[in-house]
A and B are shown apart, each in its own frame.
Chain A
Amino acid sequence: MTAAQYPPQPSPDFDTEGFWEATADGRLALCRCVECGLWLQPPLERCRRCAGLTAFEDVAGTGTIYSFIVQRQPSVVGYLDAIPYVVALVELDEQAGLRLPARIVGIEPERVTVGMRVVVDLVALPGGDYVVPVFQPA
């Protein structure tokens, strides 16, 4: 894989860098209001409900597939050798509607279903300094 074929790299900012610091440390952590407890994805500097301070807090890393696609044509750079690949919206157990997009690994695309229980794994993102969450059947 040459540099031109790497998947797009995250471009962290003040609000999101805690997510990437956690994955680099082997943890999945999401933004949460320290005042009212609301989980916030995408992350915010202040809570959208109570304007409280936020911080990144570890999650269990378990969830349910809300929906998924099977990528069968090259549309986005990266993973071209891995086609077909599966991307899902994973609804995390911490809060209804709290979702992360992520690749689903360790299962043939034909066997992935909506509602499937999954668990996180953290893997190196090709081409850079980042670690990304992927999910596999629980």
Chain B
Amino acid sequence: MARSALSGAAIVGIGRTPFVRKSGRTTLGMASEAARDALRDAGLAPSDVDGFTCYSTGDSAGPMQVAHAIGVDDLGWSVGVSGGGNAVASVVAGAAAAVVTGQADVVIVYRVLGSGTRYGKAMDRVLAPGEGQFAAPHGYLVPPQWFAMWCRRHQHVYGSTSEDLGAIAVQQRAHAVNNPHAIARTPITIDDYLESRWINEPFRVFDCCYEVDGAVALVVTSAERAADLPNQPVYPLAVADANGQGGSVFEWDDMTSMYSREAAPRLWSRTGLGPADMDVALMYDCYTYTVMATLEDFGFCAKGEVGDFFRDGRATYGGDVVVNPHGGLLSEGYLHGLNHHYEAVLQLRGAAGDRQVPGAETALVTAGAGPFGGALVYATAPQ
């Protein structure tokens, strides 16, 4: 059975800022706070850190700036990746690989979002270069529009419904009720969902993630060093990315599936595990439909059955797998998927409090939507 060398590394610290609608703060300030918080959690000091990495869409303080701001004078490994949610799995895995291959001893991974970044609207855009020049002049430019388009195709082919999307939103909000860090904790019913306002059909407001300001950071070091640190180490077993068809959200051949169609078999093959082995599933949920398509692709249920999967309690405590116990990007807040890694580590440490998944030993963490993304499996024991 194939085994990845990634579990020679471990996540030993997690940190974050509050998630708020409008902080007034800089990305540098928030990223520094999350990095310090993660180091404190790991029992390490800035002087231990020699690697830094982040992903961004050109909207964030870079690794060198953040390292400098927390007192790291010399970085042996600094990698800033251009990308969004699609990049998370490979960025975290890149940090683990840097450690395993001796390029760095202690790496901080972070993502920060300030009020200047809001992907859901583009009310001041003037020019549309690249592939966007064929779409934006039609008033079609932002991700909730792209993925509503994908969702409609799924509804046409598999008969999925608004009620199915609503079941996802309702369940994740119910999970967020037990998460003091979540920005949206008021329970909603399926009727609340169906009565909520349209953004762009078939998406309502509750289908869309909750964009916030904030930062999340992870500390990655070797499994060997992790043994001497205070926390239960959490091991990345394997990663699998998939980036298809030029990353075009318009030309992707079959919008009833996503990148996960390719990434899932890769990931299960590399780990020797499958969906039935997962205790927790942190499914990237920029939209409800992303959860639907990727749960199907990762094999948790058949095409068109995700609505029942949620309604029958199979996506929560006591079911097949607990999907987004923190409430996800929909309800905890949109930290571009790095908050899913934070939650995975918390769950596998057994430190998730009221929302702890009993006995959690494995977690799937997915990242991305549409033509690009990836996923990692974490476990409490290395492979």
Contacts and interface: CB of A to CB of B under 8 A. Distances in A.
Contact of A72 (B130, B133, B199, B250): B199
Interface in B132-164: 132-142, 144-145, 148-150, 152-153, 156
A42 B201 contact: no
Contact of A41 (B130, B142, B251): B251
Contacts of A16: 133
Chain A contact-residue range equals 35 or more
B197 interface: yes
A66 B200 contact: no
B197 to A, nearest CB: 7
B247 to A, nearest CB: 11
A71 interface: yes
Given A42-B248, A87-B138, A76 B198 contact: no
Interface string B263-291: 00000000000000000000000000000
Interface stretch (B3-11, B97-105, B118-126, B223-231): B118-126
Contacts of A4: 124
A11 interface: yes
A136 interface: no
A4 B148 CA distance: 26
Given A11-B127, A11-B129, A77 B122 contact: yes
Contacts of B51: none
A11 B133 contact: yes
Looking at A41, A42, A97, A125, the one whose CB has the most chain B CB atoms below 10 A away is A42
Given A16-B133, A69-B201, A73-B199, A101 B140 contact: yes
A76 B250 contact: no
A26 interface: no
A76 B124 CA distance: 8
B376 to A, nearest CB: 30
A4 B125 CA distance: 9
Interface of B: 120-142, 144-145, 148-150, 152-153, 156, 197-203, 246, 248, 250-251, 253, 255
Interface string A56-75: 00000000001111111111
Contacts of B144: 75
A16 B131 CA distance: 9
B164 to A, nearest CB: 17
Interface of A: 4, 7-13, 16, 19, 41-42, 66-79, 85, 87, 89, 97, 99-103, 109, 114-115, 125, 130, 132, 134
A23 to B, nearest CB: 10
Given A11-B133, A41-B251, A72-B198, A67 B156 contact: yes
B153 A9 contact: no
A102 B138 contact: yes
A71 B200 contact: yes
A101 B250 contact: yes
A53 to B, nearest CB: 20
Contact of A132 (B138, B197, B203, B246): B138
Contacts of B137: 7-10, 78, 125, 130, 132
Contact of B126 (A8, A19, A102, A103): A8
B142 A76 contact: yes
B122 A13 contact: no
A69 B148 contact: yes
Contacts of A99: 250-251
Given A42-B134, A68-B149, A69-B152, A76 B139 contact: yes
Contacts of B246: 42
B354 to A, nearest CB: 35
Contacts of B123: 74-77
A12 B126 CA distance: 13
B152 A87 contact: no
B251 A78 contact: no
Contact of A42 (B131, B142, B198, B203): B131
Contacts of B134: 10, 19, 41-42, 100-101
B200 A67 contact: no
15 contacts: A9-B126, A10-B133, A11-B127, A16-B133, A42-B134, A42-B248, A69-B202, A69-B203, A72-B199, A73-B199, A74-B121, A87-B149, A102-B138, A114-B152, A130-B137
- 5 closest cross-chain pairs (CB), A and B: A10-B133, A8-B136, A72-B198, A70-B201, A11-B129
A19 B149 CA distance: 24
B149 A75 contact: no
Contact of B145 (A19, A77, A87): A87
Contact of A69 (B124, B129, B131, B200): B200
Nearest to A101: B135
